[in-house]
């Protein structure tokens, strides 16, 4: 039978594992958010470039 100290140690290891899992989840969520921001920026940048090239084309035709 496990002593009180062993049970306490087991509980601490379990808590440590849960904290590791939570930390990894937060790290992954942060990385995903960063990638989404990069994609949004790239989408916005290409849209702006298209608008600028269309605007330049209109000026040349006029």
Residue 47, SS3? helix
pLDDT tens profile 5-62: 899 999 999 999 999 999 999 999 999 999 999 998 888 877 666 666 666 665 555 4
Q: pTM value?
A: 0.57
| Tally of CA atoms within 13 A in the half-sphere of 34 that contains its CB | 6
Q: Is the separation of the CB atoms in 27 and 35 below 8 Å?
A: no
């Amino acid at each position: 039978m496990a002593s009180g100290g062993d049970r306490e140690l087991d509980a601490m290891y379990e808590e440590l594992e849960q904290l590791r899992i939570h930390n990894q989840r937060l790290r992954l969520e942060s990385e995903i958010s960063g990638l989404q921001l990069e994609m949004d920026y790239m989408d916005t940048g290409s849209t702006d470039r298209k608008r600028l090239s269309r605007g330049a084309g209109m000026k040349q035709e006029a």
